[in-house]
């Protein structure tokens, strides 16, 4: 696998792409902490619709809190990253979108994991979108990567399953036609 598979993203490129996402995430978080302090004070970018607001999220994704179980999210993240690597290793050379989706999820997951390891305050979030009291939970670059990658991966896996079902139906139809059965 890896370099010997033409068209497939080499392991170093996969890890490099995920690392680039981590670097972009960590750099923007560093800027947010440096420039947006104190926390919870909105800085309008496009009126009320888009603001930069420094928030520390000790819970799970998008500010969801599961009490003391929120810290278990670190272990789940490690399991997810290992799973993404396994999916990458099992990917075929023509599965480019699947591999890019895995890069996005891996890089975003590692970016937020670093925050959880580094600080008891939680993950640094700063992108604040909404109107008035109708606001999406504050998020960051890692969240964008994870969400985009997860949506792409869901679409890819759904299409792969559709292809398997279609192929299985074609094989059944061919085997039925070859035996002389009329289906009646």
The larger pLDDT score, comparing residue 167 to residue 107, is at 107
- Give the CA count within 13 Å in the CB-facing half-sphere of 30: 8
What pLDDT does residue 2 have? Answer: 43
Average pLDDT over residues 148-159: 95
Residue 56's φ and ψ, nearest 5 degrees, are: -110, 125
What pLDDT does residue 168 have? Answer: 82
Q: How far from chain centre, in Å, is Cα 82?
A: 13
The answer to whether the beta carbons of residues 91 and 66 sit under 8 Å apart is no
Positions marked catalytic: 125, 143
Q: Who's near 146: CB < 8 A, 6+ residues apart?
A: 61, 104, 105, 108, 109, 112
CB burial string 145-154: b at 16+ within 10 A, e below: bbbebbebbe
- Give the CA count within 13 Å in the CB-facing half-sphere of 41: 7
Q: Is the pLDDT at 146 greater than 70, yes or no?
A: yes
What pLDDT does residue 40 have? Answer: 96
Q: Is the pLDDT at 38 greater than 90, yes or no?
A: yes
Tokens 């009126």: give the residue: 47
What pLDDT does residue 3 have? Answer: 45
The answer to whether the beta carbons of residues 17 and 107 sit under 8 Å apart is yes
Q: Is the pLDDT at 1 greater than 50, yes or no?
A: no
The tens digit of pLDDT for each residue in 54-108 reads: 999 987 766 666 666 666 778 888 999 999 999 999 998 888 999 999 999 999 9
What pLDDT does residue 24 have? Answer: 98
What the block records as the tokens of 100 is 């890019």
What is the rounded CA–CA span in Å between residue 149 and residue 125?
A: 19
């Amino acid at each position: 696998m890896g370099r010997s598979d033409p068209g497939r993203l080499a392991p170093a490129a996969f890890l490099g792409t995920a690392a680039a996402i981590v670097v972009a995430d960590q750099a923007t978080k560093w800027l947010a902490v440096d420039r947006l302090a104190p926390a919870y004070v909105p800085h309008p970018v496009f009126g009320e619709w888009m603001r930069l607001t420094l928030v520390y999220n000790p819970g799970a994704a998008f500010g969801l809190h599961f009490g003391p179980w929120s810290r278990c999210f670190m272990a789940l993240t490690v399991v997810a990253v290992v799973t993404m690597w396994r999916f990458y290793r099992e990917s075929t050379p023509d599965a480019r979108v699947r591999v890019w989706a895995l890069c996005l999820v891996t890089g975003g997951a590692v970016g937020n994991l670093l925050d959880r390891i580094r600080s008891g305050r939680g993950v640094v979030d700063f992108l604040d979108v909404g109107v008035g009291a109708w606001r999406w939970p504050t998020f960051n670059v890692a969240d964008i990567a994870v969400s985009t990658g997860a949506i792409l991966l869901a679409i890819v896996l759904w299409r792969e399953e559709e292809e398997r079902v279609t192929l299985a139906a074609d094989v059944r139809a061919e085997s039925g036609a070859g035996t002389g059965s009329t289906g009646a």
